[in-house]
Amino acid sequence: MAQETKYTEDNIRSLDWKEHIRMRPGMYIGKLGDGSSPDDGIYILLKEVLDNSIDEYVMGAGKTIEISIQSDKVTVRDYGRGIPLGKVVDVVSKMNTGGKYDSKAFKKSVGLNGVGTKAVNALSAYFRVESNREGKSASAEFELGELTNQELPEESSRRKGTKVSFIPDTEIFKKYKYRNEYVAKMLKNYVYLNPGLTIVFNGEKYFSENGLKDLLEENTNESDMLYPIIHLRGEDIEVAITHSKTQYSEEYHSFVNGQNTTQGGTHLAAFREALVKTIREFYGKNFDASDIRKSIISAVSIKVMEPVFESQTKTKLGSTDMGGDLPTVRTFINEFVKRRLDNYLHKHSEAAEAIQRKILQAEKERKELSGIRKIARERAKKASLHNKKLRDCRVHFGDLKKDRRLDTTLFITEGDSASGSITKSRDVNTQAVFSLKGKPLNSYGLSKKIVYENEEFNLLQAALNIEESIEDLRYNNIVIATDADVDGMHIRLLLITFFLQFFPEVIKEGHLYILQTPLFRVRNKKETIYCYSDHEKVNAIEKLKPKPEITRFKGLGEISPDEFKFFIGDDIRLDPVMLDKNMSIEELLQFYMGKNTPSRQEFIINNLKVELDKIEDY
């Protein structure tokens, strides 16, 4: 018989605020990560501090926010009202303390729980807050949440406002690095949602005059828009809509009180419903909802009194009410879209006609594909759940409709040996593996029909659950894991082409990555070093003198499961796949994946010369 576990007073433990945050950081900032993903913890730390400065601007205090990221130190300076000087320590170190519990001071704030800056403080090796107000200044410094220095209010000539600096703790965020591209995207969203606000990041200014219209223009090449952006503004709501000429699936950017709700919520569901209802009534036809929304690119932003989010990271709205005397979120959005979009379409016949043509085209394509889709779905359902094509993770094993979590990852591998190594090494709770059979088809220029007819594409689409909308994406991170040779690079390119051709929003919203695996293992009897480049190999050889054993990994299948766990665990190296906003997807695919062109030949020759010169210099 098993020995009974004792449960006494000694088992009861009380944690103070910082201990609890440090022990359970995921409750406060979502996943940790190393900065390779836009929702990694280091960006949430920045966002939590920045949200307070944004709220100051919303309340009419301070039109400029300055942000600096130098190496590992982050500084945010606003010119708002400043924290009341007697509460500078409390607001960053006492849970459930803040000015946002007073709805008169912050009517439609992002953060209402008094947690944000406390989490930043507790998870930072160094944290400093300074408040300037009423001709005086006060500050406090912390290490791992512990107060180390406090300067009481004294006369000061500094401009009013708050300045926060912090350095994330490397014990929590190991080998992290801020990527300016992700920070810039976050800041652009803030200025789109707050026209008139200027954010200066490392000397570069971000400003918007046209709100969500600017957002869609930034994220969509003008040549791909079916008609000019429909931009509708009202009190507590703003909407921007267009359709893509080439994109197949739906793309949404949704916000609540300035927070980018990447997983949607009640407001996005209401917007999609209102759009369908309005279009049906305008044309007097009961169009299928999927035909109306196919290829749509849109953004919706609302402001809600005391919003309820489904997590501390605020990626999905759970509120059903607008707050105060206002109607429900669903009713509010339905009434706005019905009135304003209907009016717009009556006044702009060209846009109305373009939308109708797009819907009829989508309807025709859907009917042509209906038989193929039904067979493909049944085949995908059976294959996904019962064979070795997809080794799912436990958080949603067998459930293709379960909401994705920020820590879920799907590795797309080539061949059985590589998928076998990753499968044995992975975290079975959150990491899944999809095994490719041979090289994927070059899908450039092909229609969506090929996704259902091609077994690999059909099963991959089903595993990701992205047929209708990226909102249903099952895994937050999609990682291409191929060998670091010519064939592996080719497979990688073909997979990226697949996503660009049929599901570009997967890349636009930062879900696609390339797994970096070591090329060499350098070791002696005491130490092993894995090297990702020739330069790292040379350094490792010098470090492990004399004459260490050197192994060159030719493929992922050669890396044992015991070793692989180091490369897909805490020390995983991911390179995000990003789009150049200056080149349209069609131009990109035509250049790299179209029929051979002189310009591509010239590009290859010129870049080959550059690489050869580097090798000679090395």
First to last CA, the chain: 66
**How many structural domains compose the chain?**
4
Strand 136-143 vs strand 124-133: parallel, antiparallel, or unpaired? antiparallel
Phi, psi dihedral angles at 240 (to 5 degrees): -135, 135
How many Cα atoms are found within 13 Å in the side-chain-facing hemisphere of 11?
4
Residues 404 and 331 in one domain: no
> By the 8 A CB rule, do 72 and 168 touch?
yes
Alpha helix ranges (H) inside 89-166: 90-93, 116-122
Residue 256 lies in a domain: yes
Cis omega (within 30 of 0) for bond into 546: yes
* Dist CA 169 CA 471 (whole Å): 33
Residues 192 and 248 in one domain: no
Instruction: Specify burial of residue 333 (Cβ count, 10 A radius: 0-12, 13-18, 19+).
Output: buried
Predicted pLDDT at 3: 57
What CATH number has the domain bearing residue 569? 3.40.50.670
Residue 221 lies in a domain: yes
Predicted pLDDT at 301: 93
C-alpha triplet 582, 585, 587: angle, nearest 5°: 75
Residue 357 lies in a domain: yes
Residues 122 and 194 in one domain: yes
Predicted pLDDT at 478: 95
Closest CA to 424 of 576, 538, 288, 565: 565
- Other CB atoms within a 10 A radius of the CB of residue 324 amount to 10
Residue 143 lies in a domain: yes
Instruction: Specify burial of residue 214 (Cβ count, 10 A radius: 0-12, 13-18, 19+).
Output: buried
Residue 35 lies in a domain: yes
Residue 6 lies in a domain: no
Residues 294 and 440 in one domain: no
* Dist CA 293 CA 556 (whole Å): 41
Predicted pLDDT at 573: 85
Residues 182 and 285 in one domain: no
Residues 177 and 143 in one domain: yes
Residues 358 and 403 in one domain: no
- Other CB atoms within a 10 A radius of the CB of residue 196 amount to 11
* Dist CA 243 CA 260 (whole Å): 21
- Other CB atoms within a 10 A radius of the CB of residue 424 amount to 14
Residues 260 and 143 in one domain: no
Predicted pLDDT at 582: 66
> By the 8 A CB rule, do 512 and 500 touch?
no
Amino acid letter at 529?
I
Residues 60 and 179 in one domain: yes
Residues 158 and 225 in one domain: no
Residue 614 lies in a domain: no
Of the residues 552, 571, 603, the one at which a domain ends: 552
Residues 59 and 79 in one domain: yes
Of the residues 206, 230, 249, the one at which a domain ends: 206
Residue 122 lies in a domain: yes
Sign of CA dihedral 390, 40, 207, 309: positive
Phi, psi dihedral angles at 465 (to 5 degrees): 60, 50
* Dist CA 311 CA 498 (whole Å): 32
Structural domain for 345, as ranges: 212-365
> By the 8 A CB rule, do 479 and 515 touch?
yes
* Residue numbers of the chain with a pLDDT score lower than 70: 1-15, 96-115, 311-314, 324-325, 381-388, 396-404, 581-583, 609-618
What CATH number has the domain bearing residue 163? 3.30.565.10
Phi, psi dihedral angles at 161 (to 5 degrees): 135, -175
Q: Which helix (H) or strand (E) holds 149?
A: strand 146-155
Phi, psi dihedral angles at 387 (to 5 degrees): -120, -170
Of the residues 537, 552, 567, the one at which a domain ends: 552
- Other CB atoms within a 10 A radius of the CB of residue 320 amount to 14
How many Cα atoms are found within 13 Å in the side-chain-facing hemisphere of 608?
6
What CATH number has the domain bearing residue 312? 3.30.230.10
Residues 446 and 474 in one domain: yes
